[in-house]
Amino acid sequence: MVTAAQVWEAFEQIPDPEIPVVSLVDLGVIRSVDVSDGHVRVEFTPTFLGCPALEVMKQALEAKVSELGAEPDVQVVQDDSWSTDKITPAGREKLRAAGFAPPPPREASAPKLVQLQASVHRCPYCGSTETKLENIFGPTPCRSLRWCESCRQPFEQFKTI
Amino acid sequence: MNALLLGLADDELVLGWRDSEWTGIAPMLEEDVAFSSIAQNEIGHARALYQLLGDNPDALAFDRPLDEYRCAPLVELRLLDWARTIARRWLYEVADEIRIAALMEDGDPAVAGLAAKINREEAYHRMHAEMWHERLRETPQFRAAVEELWPYAVGLLPEGQRDELAARVSLPLPGDSLLLGKERGAHTDELAELWDEMTMVRRSAPAGAQW
């Protein structure tokens, strides 16, 4: 009989479809795993609701549970319980190593443009904070585009949610 | 079905569609990226809201006859110039923030939870709208666009939320005659054209087709 620990371990093998250097566990999008009588109920939270990878992630979770010989029941939880603060320290380090600046911590109030425009965001390549906002938006809803004045190249910055 | 949520979902779907029309033709490359991303996210919000309202978001998005859509005329307009497009984005985001804040207090935790999630994401759309508003606010084209679209923006919200909208954008509420045809419940001719295009592929295949 499969255990919750085995399910979590298996989920660590599922890469994020858009940024495969991190797993779904690293991203912190799996809220809970409950195992009973060969059924595995998983609660999963989207990063951004506009994420095109949402359905792919759900299918990957279902497939992984099936591979373990259990019956999957994957529920997408559409509430505010996921935050970029849930990305694990290991996940943040993997993002940085792959050239994605990890998100700043969530604050009590909504993020402001002036914060994004401030040169406090660190370049994932050279570590400089001499960076500027190029675009609030990027290739996926969860990212914005910045430019590093020190190493003269663009990089992607995770948005805080 | 919750008419308020359906109206919000339809607004986000149709505005997402309209915003996506700028992909590739925006006046600067960064805005191609921004409008595409905003459009994608608005449609994601529509999907999440449809999911809350029924088991089949696609059916709600695409299988209804035209007169069952609850979107407001503001989002239906096909705006072909940048000043009007930005004026709509700015007015829409200010109005949207007011109604989302109200939904975050909803007694149904599923509604309040989803509204809180949407609110977090909309913060970035608001920044974009505010940035452009700051840039264009003194230009004659933008002022004319705001004046033209203001009654439509009022038509997005129920009466109880309109005073707050007027206060936030510092404009007087228009009289009833100016609101005619611009409030939720009315539709513009542009919606028919959009509906035809938006549902074309789905209508072309028999029910149950796998994509």
Percentage of chain A modeled with pLDDT above 90: 80
pLDDT in tens, A112-161: 888 888 868 999 999 999 999 999 999 888 999 999 999 999 999 999 99
Percentage of chain B modeled with pLDDT above 90: 93
Burial class (CB in 10 A: 0-12, 13-18, 19+), B53: middle
Q: What are phi and psi of A46, to 5 degrees?
A: -65, 155
For residue B41, give the chain A residue with the closest CA: A50
For B81, the token pair is 């110039």
Q: How far off is chain B from A159, nearest CA to CA, in Å?
A: 9
**Would you state the pLDDT for residue B114?**
97
d(CA B71, CA B118): 18
pLDDT in tens, B133-172: 999 999 999 999 999 999 999 999 999 999 999 999 999 9
Q: What stretch of H or E contains A156?
A: strand A153-158
**Would you state the pLDDT for residue B183?**
97
Note whether A47 and B117 are within 8 A (CB): no
pTM across the whole model:
0.94
Please report residues of B whose CB lies closer than 8 A to that of A55. Answer: none
d(CA B210, CA A71): 24
Cβ of A138 within 8 Å of Cβ of B33? The answer is yes
Mean pLDDT over each residue of chain A, to the nearest integer: 93
**Length of chain B counted residue by residue:** 211
**Would you state the pLDDT for residue A108?**
82
pLDDT in tens, A94-104: 999 999 999 99
Q: Is the pLDDT of residue B79 over 80?
A: yes
Note whether B35 and B20 are within 8 A (CB): yes
Q: Which of A136, A142, A157 to mutate to test the interface with B (most CBs of B within 10 A)?
A: A136
Please report residues of A whose CB lies closer than 8 A to that of B119. Answer: 80, 110
Name the packing angle between helices B109-136 and B82-103 (round to 10°): 150
Note whether A125 and A148 are within 8 A (CB): yes
**Would you state the pLDDT for residue B119?**
96
